[in-house]
Structure 1
Protein backbone atom coordinates (compact mmCIF):
# COMPACT_ATOMS: atom_id res chain seq x y z
CA UNK A 1 0.00 0.00 0.00
CA UNK A 2 1.36 3.35 -1.07
CA UNK A 3 1.31 6.45 1.14
CA UNK A 4 1.35 9.50 -1.15
CA UNK A 5 1.99 13.07 -0.09
CA UNK A 6 -0.50 15.56 -1.53
CA UNK A 7 1.29 18.45 -3.18
CA UNK A 8 -0.94 19.67 -6.00
CA UNK A 9 -4.60 20.62 -6.16
CA UNK A 10 -5.15 17.45 -8.21
CA UNK A 11 -3.77 15.41 -5.28
CA UNK A 12 -6.10 17.22 -2.89
CA UNK A 13 -9.04 16.54 -5.26
CA UNK A 14 -8.33 12.81 -4.82
CA UNK A 15 -8.69 13.35 -1.05
CA UNK A 16 -11.65 15.74 -1.22
CA UNK A 17 -14.42 13.19 -0.71
CA UNK A 18 -12.67 11.69 2.32
CA UNK A 19 -11.94 15.10 3.83
CA UNK A 20 -15.57 16.15 3.44
CA UNK A 21 -16.83 12.85 4.85
CA UNK A 22 -14.65 13.33 7.94
CA UNK A 23 -15.03 17.10 8.34
CA UNK A 24 -18.64 17.80 7.39
CA UNK A 25 -18.30 21.44 8.44
CA UNK A 26 -16.15 22.25 5.41
CA UNK A 27 -17.44 23.82 2.20
CA UNK A 28 -17.11 21.50 -0.78
CA UNK A 29 -16.57 24.49 -3.07
CA UNK A 30 -13.57 25.85 -1.16
CA UNK A 31 -11.99 22.88 0.62
CA UNK A 32 -9.37 22.16 -2.06
CA UNK A 33 -8.19 25.78 -2.01
CA UNK A 34 -8.24 25.79 1.81
CA UNK A 35 -6.08 22.66 2.05
CA UNK A 36 -3.76 23.92 -0.69
CA UNK A 37 -3.28 27.15 1.30
CA UNK A 38 -2.62 25.15 4.49
CA UNK A 39 0.00 23.03 2.70
CA UNK A 40 1.76 25.99 1.10
CA UNK A 41 1.59 28.54 3.91
CA UNK A 42 0.93 26.78 7.21
CA UNK A 43 3.19 23.73 7.15
CA UNK A 44 0.29 21.29 6.85
CA UNK A 45 1.06 17.89 5.34
CA UNK A 46 -1.63 15.74 3.72
CA UNK A 47 -0.79 12.10 3.04
CA UNK A 48 -3.22 9.60 1.56
CA UNK A 49 -3.59 6.04 0.38
CA UNK A 50 -5.39 6.01 -2.96
CA UNK A 51 -7.81 3.40 -4.21
CA UNK A 52 -6.71 1.06 -7.00
CA UNK A 53 -7.38 3.52 -9.85
CA UNK A 54 -6.12 6.65 -8.04
CA UNK A 55 -9.50 8.39 -8.21
CA UNK A 56 -10.26 8.46 -4.49
CA UNK A 57 -8.36 8.36 -1.22
CA UNK A 58 -9.29 5.34 0.86
CA UNK A 59 -7.69 7.04 3.87
CA UNK A 60 -5.79 10.21 4.72
CA UNK A 61 -3.81 11.80 7.50
CA UNK A 62 -3.19 15.49 8.01
CA UNK A 63 -0.44 16.72 10.29
CA UNK A 64 1.97 19.55 11.00
CA UNK A 65 5.25 20.08 12.78
CA UNK A 66 5.13 22.33 15.84
CA UNK A 67 7.72 23.52 18.31
CA UNK A 68 6.17 24.02 21.75
CA UNK A 69 7.76 25.12 25.01
CA UNK A 70 6.09 22.19 26.78
CA UNK A 71 7.37 19.50 24.41
CA UNK A 72 9.93 20.91 22.02
CA UNK A 73 9.51 19.83 18.39
CA UNK A 74 6.53 17.52 17.78
CA UNK A 75 4.28 16.35 15.02
CA UNK A 76 0.62 17.04 15.69
CA UNK A 77 -1.92 14.92 13.81
CA UNK A 78 -4.94 17.06 12.93
CA UNK A 79 -6.90 14.40 11.03
CA UNK A 80 -6.90 10.67 10.41
CA UNK A 81 -9.75 9.09 8.47
CA UNK A 82 -10.46 5.85 6.64
CA UNK A 83 -13.59 5.19 4.57
CA UNK A 84 -15.62 2.31 6.03
CA UNK A 85 -14.96 0.06 3.01
CA UNK A 86 -11.21 0.34 3.65
CA UNK A 87 -11.30 -0.15 7.43
CA UNK A 88 -9.57 -3.21 8.83
CA UNK A 89 -7.07 -3.28 5.95
CA UNK A 90 -4.26 -1.47 7.76
CA UNK A 91 -4.62 1.92 6.07
CA UNK A 92 -4.74 4.01 9.27
CA UNK A 93 -1.83 2.03 10.75
CA UNK A 94 0.22 2.55 7.60
CA UNK A 95 -0.43 6.30 7.71
CA UNK A 96 0.55 6.46 11.39
CA UNK A 97 3.72 4.52 10.56
CA UNK A 98 4.46 6.98 7.74
CA UNK A 99 4.24 9.91 10.16
CA UNK A 100 6.41 8.08 12.72
CA UNK A 101 9.05 7.53 10.03
CA UNK A 102 8.93 11.23 9.14
CA UNK A 103 9.36 12.16 12.80
CA UNK A 104 12.28 9.78 13.28
CA UNK A 105 14.04 10.97 10.12
CA UNK A 106 13.81 14.58 11.34
CA UNK A 107 14.80 13.89 14.95
CA UNK A 108 11.33 14.70 16.28
CA UNK A 109 10.80 12.80 19.54
CA UNK A 110 7.00 12.69 19.83
CA UNK A 111 3.73 12.67 17.92
CA UNK A 112 0.53 14.03 19.43
CA UNK A 113 -3.14 13.76 18.47
CA UNK A 114 -6.57 14.26 20.00
CA UNK A 115 -9.32 11.67 19.69
CA UNK A 116 -12.99 11.74 20.67
CA UNK A 117 -13.95 9.79 23.77
CA UNK A 118 -16.23 7.37 21.94
CA UNK A 119 -13.76 6.32 19.22
CA UNK A 120 -12.74 3.07 20.90
CA UNK A 121 -11.57 1.33 17.73
CA UNK A 122 -9.26 4.25 16.98
CA UNK A 123 -8.00 4.23 20.57
CA UNK A 124 -7.09 0.55 20.26
CA UNK A 125 -5.09 1.35 17.15
CA UNK A 126 -3.27 4.23 18.85
CA UNK A 127 -2.45 2.15 21.91
CA UNK A 128 -1.24 -0.72 19.72
CA UNK A 129 1.00 1.76 17.86
CA UNK A 130 2.63 2.89 21.13
CA UNK A 131 0.60 6.02 21.85
CA UNK A 132 -0.51 6.69 25.44
CA UNK A 133 -3.09 8.91 27.08
CA UNK A 134 -1.09 12.01 27.99
CA UNK A 135 -3.73 14.59 28.96
CA UNK A 136 -7.26 15.89 28.51
CA UNK A 137 -7.77 18.54 25.88
CA UNK A 138 -9.91 21.56 26.77
CA UNK A 139 -11.44 24.01 24.32
CA UNK A 140 -13.47 27.20 24.57
CA UNK A 141 -15.72 28.62 21.87
CA UNK A 142 -15.58 32.37 21.33
CA UNK A 143 -18.82 33.82 19.98
Structure 2
Protein backbone atom coordinates (compact mmCIF):
# COMPACT_ATOMS: atom_id res chain seq x y z
CA UNK A 1 0.00 0.00 0.00
CA UNK A 2 1.36 3.36 -0.93
CA UNK A 3 0.43 6.44 1.06
CA UNK A 4 0.35 9.78 -0.66
CA UNK A 5 0.38 13.14 1.08
CA UNK A 6 -1.79 15.88 -0.38
CA UNK A 7 0.24 18.95 -1.24
CA UNK A 8 -1.55 20.69 -4.11
CA UNK A 9 -5.05 21.61 -5.17
CA UNK A 10 -4.76 18.96 -7.89
CA UNK A 11 -4.10 16.37 -5.16
CA UNK A 12 -7.23 17.53 -3.32
CA UNK A 13 -9.23 17.31 -6.54
CA UNK A 14 -8.01 13.69 -6.85
CA UNK A 15 -9.44 13.00 -3.36
CA UNK A 16 -12.60 15.05 -3.82
CA UNK A 17 -15.00 12.15 -4.49
CA UNK A 18 -14.01 10.38 -1.26
CA UNK A 19 -14.01 13.59 0.78
CA UNK A 20 -17.52 14.51 -0.40
CA UNK A 21 -18.80 10.97 0.13
CA UNK A 22 -17.72 11.19 3.77
CA UNK A 23 -18.40 14.83 4.54
CA UNK A 24 -21.73 15.37 2.80
CA UNK A 25 -22.09 18.80 4.42
CA UNK A 26 -19.30 20.21 2.23
CA UNK A 27 -19.89 22.14 -0.95
CA UNK A 28 -18.41 20.51 -4.05
CA UNK A 29 -17.60 23.94 -5.51
CA UNK A 30 -15.56 25.14 -2.52
CA UNK A 31 -14.13 21.99 -0.91
CA UNK A 32 -10.80 22.08 -2.76
CA UNK A 33 -10.09 25.63 -1.59
CA UNK A 34 -11.28 24.85 1.96
CA UNK A 35 -9.02 21.83 2.28
CA UNK A 36 -6.09 23.67 0.71
CA UNK A 37 -6.49 26.48 3.25
CA UNK A 38 -6.54 23.95 6.10
CA UNK A 39 -3.33 22.40 4.77
CA UNK A 40 -1.50 25.66 4.06
CA UNK A 41 -2.60 27.63 7.12
CA UNK A 42 -3.63 25.18 9.85
CA UNK A 43 -1.13 22.33 9.61
CA UNK A 44 -3.74 19.86 8.40
CA UNK A 45 -2.32 16.71 6.80
CA UNK A 46 -4.33 14.69 4.29
CA UNK A 47 -3.01 11.24 3.42
CA UNK A 48 -4.69 8.97 0.89
CA UNK A 49 -4.49 5.60 -0.80
CA UNK A 50 -5.39 5.50 -4.48
CA UNK A 51 -7.20 2.85 -6.46
CA UNK A 52 -5.20 0.17 -8.26
CA UNK A 53 -5.75 2.00 -11.55
CA UNK A 54 -4.67 5.27 -9.89
CA UNK A 55 -7.84 7.07 -11.00
CA UNK A 56 -9.14 8.17 -7.59
CA UNK A 57 -8.52 8.14 -3.87
CA UNK A 58 -10.26 5.19 -2.23
CA UNK A 59 -9.36 5.89 1.39
CA UNK A 60 -8.02 8.88 3.28
CA UNK A 61 -7.25 10.28 6.67
CA UNK A 62 -6.95 13.88 7.74
CA UNK A 63 -5.16 14.87 10.92
CA UNK A 64 -3.23 17.61 12.65
CA UNK A 65 -0.86 18.04 15.57
CA UNK A 66 -2.43 20.01 18.41
CA UNK A 67 -1.28 20.93 21.90
CA UNK A 68 -3.49 20.82 24.93
CA UNK A 69 -2.60 21.46 28.56
CA UNK A 70 -3.98 18.09 29.63
CA UNK A 71 -2.13 16.06 27.01
CA UNK A 72 0.75 18.02 25.55
CA UNK A 73 1.19 17.51 21.80
CA UNK A 74 -1.10 14.93 20.21
CA UNK A 75 -2.22 13.96 16.77
CA UNK A 76 -5.93 14.51 16.36
CA UNK A 77 -7.54 12.55 13.54
CA UNK A 78 -10.33 14.63 11.99
CA UNK A 79 -11.27 12.17 9.26
CA UNK A 80 -10.82 8.51 8.36
CA UNK A 81 -12.82 7.11 5.49
CA UNK A 82 -12.82 4.30 2.96
CA UNK A 83 -15.16 4.22 -0.03
CA UNK A 84 -17.90 1.61 0.58
CA UNK A 85 -16.99 -0.51 -2.45
CA UNK A 86 -13.48 -1.23 -1.10
CA UNK A 87 -14.14 -1.62 2.61
CA UNK A 88 -12.83 -4.66 4.44
CA UNK A 89 -9.45 -4.63 2.66
CA UNK A 90 -7.45 -3.06 5.49
CA UNK A 91 -7.14 0.47 4.13
CA UNK A 92 -8.44 2.25 7.25
CA UNK A 93 -6.25 0.14 9.51
CA UNK A 94 -3.24 0.84 7.31
CA UNK A 95 -3.93 4.57 7.47
CA UNK A 96 -4.17 4.39 11.28
CA UNK A 97 -0.83 2.56 11.34
CA UNK A 98 0.66 5.26 9.12
CA UNK A 99 -0.54 8.00 11.50
CA UNK A 100 0.96 6.07 14.43
CA UNK A 101 4.28 5.85 12.57
CA UNK A 102 4.19 9.63 12.04
CA UNK A 103 3.49 10.16 15.74
CA UNK A 104 6.44 7.98 16.71
CA UNK A 105 8.71 9.67 14.17
CA UNK A 106 7.78 13.10 15.58
CA UNK A 107 7.95 12.23 19.29
CA UNK A 108 4.20 12.47 19.82
CA UNK A 109 2.91 10.09 22.47
CA UNK A 110 -0.84 9.98 21.76
CA UNK A 111 -3.40 9.98 18.97
CA UNK A 112 -7.00 11.06 19.56
CA UNK A 113 -10.14 10.88 17.46
CA UNK A 114 -13.90 11.14 17.86
CA UNK A 115 -16.33 8.63 16.41
CA UNK A 116 -20.12 8.60 16.17
CA UNK A 117 -21.99 6.33 18.58
CA UNK A 118 -23.48 4.07 15.90
CA UNK A 119 -20.23 3.36 14.01
CA UNK A 120 -19.63 -0.05 15.59
CA UNK A 121 -17.44 -1.40 12.78
CA UNK A 122 -15.15 1.61 13.14
CA UNK A 123 -15.10 1.18 16.91
CA UNK A 124 -13.96 -2.44 16.53
CA UNK A 125 -11.12 -1.26 14.32
CA UNK A 126 -10.04 1.41 16.82
CA UNK A 127 -10.14 -1.02 19.74
CA UNK A 128 -8.18 -3.60 17.74
CA UNK A 129 -5.57 -0.93 17.01
CA UNK A 130 -5.11 -0.15 20.71
CA UNK A 131 -7.36 2.87 21.09
CA UNK A 132 -9.47 3.15 24.25
CA UNK A 133 -12.74 4.92 24.89
CA UNK A 134 -11.17 7.68 26.97
CA UNK A 135 -13.95 10.25 27.33
CA UNK A 136 -17.26 11.59 26.10
CA UNK A 137 -17.11 14.49 23.70
CA UNK A 138 -19.64 17.28 24.16
CA UNK A 139 -20.45 19.90 21.56
CA UNK A 140 -22.66 22.97 21.44
CA UNK A 141 -23.85 24.57 18.25
CA UNK A 142 -23.80 28.36 18.25
CA UNK A 143 -26.26 29.92 15.81
What TM-score range do you get, normalising by the shorter chain? over 0.9
2:87 alignment counterpart: 87
Does residue 128 in structure 1 map to residue 128 in structure 2?
Answer: yes
Structure 1's unaligned 5+ residue stretches are none
Matches within 5 A, 1:39-50: 39-50=39-50
1:73 alignment counterpart: 73
Kindly state the Cα deviation for residue 14 of structure 1 after the two structures are TM-superposed: 1.1
Kindly state the Cα deviation for residue 85 of structure 1 after the two structures are TM-superposed: 1.2
Structure 2's unaligned 5+ residue stretches are none
Kindly state the Cα deviation for residue 31 of structure 1 after the two structures are TM-superposed: 0.3
Instruction: Name the CA distance, whole Å, in 1 between partners of 2:86 and 2:98.
Output: 18
Kindly state the Cα deviation for residue 53 of structure 1 after the two structures are TM-superposed: 2.4
Q: Give SS of 2:45's match.
A: strand
Instruction: Name the CA distance, whole Å, in 2 between partners of 1:119 and 1:108.
Output: 27
TM-score of the two chains, using structure 2 as the length reference: 0.98
Kindly state the Cα deviation for residue 138 of structure 1 after the two structures are TM-superposed: 0.1
2:8 alignment counterpart: 8
2:54 alignment counterpart: 54
Higher mean Cα deviation, 95-104 or 53-62?
53-62
Kindly state the Cα deviation for residue 39 of structure 1 after the two structures are TM-superposed: 0.3
**What is the CA deviation profile of residues 21-70 of structure 1, one whole-angstrom value per residue up to 9, with x for unaligned ones?**
10011000010011011000000000000012222111000000001101
Q: Give SS of 1:29's match.
A: coil
Kindly state the Cα deviation for residue 135 of structure 1 after the two structures are TM-superposed: 0.1
TM-score of the two chains, using structure 1 as the length reference: 0.98
**Contact 1:59 1:92 survives alignment (8 Å):** yes
Does residue 141 in structure 1 map to residue 141 in structure 2?
Answer: yes
Deviant stretches of 4+, over 4 Å: none
Instruction: Name the CA distance, whole Å, in 2 between partners of 1:120 and 1:27.
Output: 28
| Aligned alpha-carbon RMSD (Å) | 0.6
Q: Give SS of 1:125's match.
A: helix
**Contact 1:62 1:80 survives alignment (8 Å):** yes
